[in-house]
Amino acid sequence: GAVVSQHPSWVICKSGTSVKIECRSLDFQATTMFWYRQFPKQSLMLMATSNEGSKATYEQGVEKDKFLINHASLTLSTLTVTSAHPEDSSFYICSARYGRGTGELFFGEGSRLTVL
Amino acid sequence: QKEVEQDPGPLSVPEGAIVSLNCTYSNSAFQYFMWYRQYSRKGPELLMYTYSSGNKEDGRFTAQVDKSSKYISLFIRDSQPSDSATYLCALRSGTYKYIFGTGTRLKVLA
């Protein structure tokens, strides 16, 4: 299957700092990428849909100023958690839509954020 | 009513058993169906992708879709301890809306 790379896989930061997470589709172009948050033993919670070259669409209840999403190219989307606080600690996962008609979603490995 | 229902488990089976994982959905707009496996602290891995009603087989995995009943299944034959993970069903509409089940935790006991 197609490969989606997510970096970093884990990050620890101090409260008040900003953290950037990258999501790259390595062997295909992804016009649409998705960002999720996942709490332990819970399912994926969609945060936002990122389309290349346009503003992200955020789900209800997700603060767009807190979670900045940029999709500047067909292979890269970034999620920046601004002014992170301990309650932002979570597992963040991206996915990329394989665009050649079939529309399968391929996921990154996930990024574990711990805010101290 | 949730758009997709999936039993969270946990489901415990002995090694070698046939595992049946299921999801039901309510909206006939969903036409494409996926099954993912997620190990703890990892991203989901795509196992199966199907469109038509019927069966699709890949190694020990068989995906079954019954659009008339709005019911999808994933069967795992000769289950192994390494199959222990959470299995998520996912549905996609023609307009690229994706819905995920809550996931079923599977434990295969050696």
Tens-of-pLDDT digits for all 116 residues of chain A? 789 999 999 999 999 999 999 999 998 888 899 999 998 888 899 999 998 888 899 999 999 999 999 988 989 999 999 999 999 999 999 999 987 667 889 999 999 999 99
Question: A residues 6-45 near B, CB within 8 Å?
Answer: 6, 32, 34, 41-44
Between A42, A105, A112, which is nearest B34 by CB? A105
φ, ψ of residue A87 to 5 degrees: the values are -70, -10
Integer CA distances (angstroms), B79 to A47, B14, B17, B49, in order:
34, 8, 5, 20
Query: Residue A26: its chain B contacts at CB < 8 A?
Result: none
